[in-house]
Chains A and B, each alone.
Chain A
Amino acid sequence: AQSVTQPDIHITVSEGASLELRCNYSYGATPYLFWYVQSPGQGLQLLLKYFSGDTLVQGIKGFEAEFKRSQSSFNLRKPSVHWSDAAEYFCAVAPRAAGNKLTFGGGTRVLVKP
Chain B
Amino acid sequence: NAGVTQTPKFQVLKTGQSMTLQCAQDMNHEYMSWYRQDPGMGLRLIHYSVGAGITDQGEVPNGYNVSRSTTEDFPLRLLSAAPSQTSVYFCASRPGQGWNTEAFFGQGTRLTVV
Q: CB within 8 Å of B: which residues of A?
A: 4, 9, 32, 36, 41-46, 49, 51, 90, 92, 94-96, 98-107
When A43-B108, A44-B90, A90-B43 are in contact, do A102 and B103 touch as well, CB less than 8 Å? Answer: yes
Q: CB within 8 Å of A: which residues of B?
A: 4, 31, 33, 40-45, 48, 50, 56, 58-59, 90, 92, 96-100, 102-103, 105-108
What secondary structure prevails in chain A residues at the interface with B?
loop
A107 near B42 with CB under 8 A, answer: yes
* Closest chain A residue, CB of each to CB of B50: A100
What secondary structure prevails in chain B residues at the interface with A?
loop
Complex contacts, A43 vs chain B, CB 8 Å: 4, 90, 105-108
A106 near B45 with CB under 8 A, answer: no
Smallest CB-CB A-B distances: 3 pairs: A104-B42, A94-B99, A43-B105
Cα(A32)–Cα(B41), bound, Å: 20
A98 near B33 with CB under 8 A, answer: no
Complex contacts, B42 vs chain A, CB 8 Å: 4, 90, 92, 103-107
When A43-B90, A105-B42 are in contact, do A32 and B108 touch as well, CB less than 8 Å? Answer: no
* Closest chain B residue, CB of each to CB of A91: B42
Complex contacts, A92 vs chain B, CB 8 Å: 42-43
A102 near B40 with CB under 8 A, answer: no
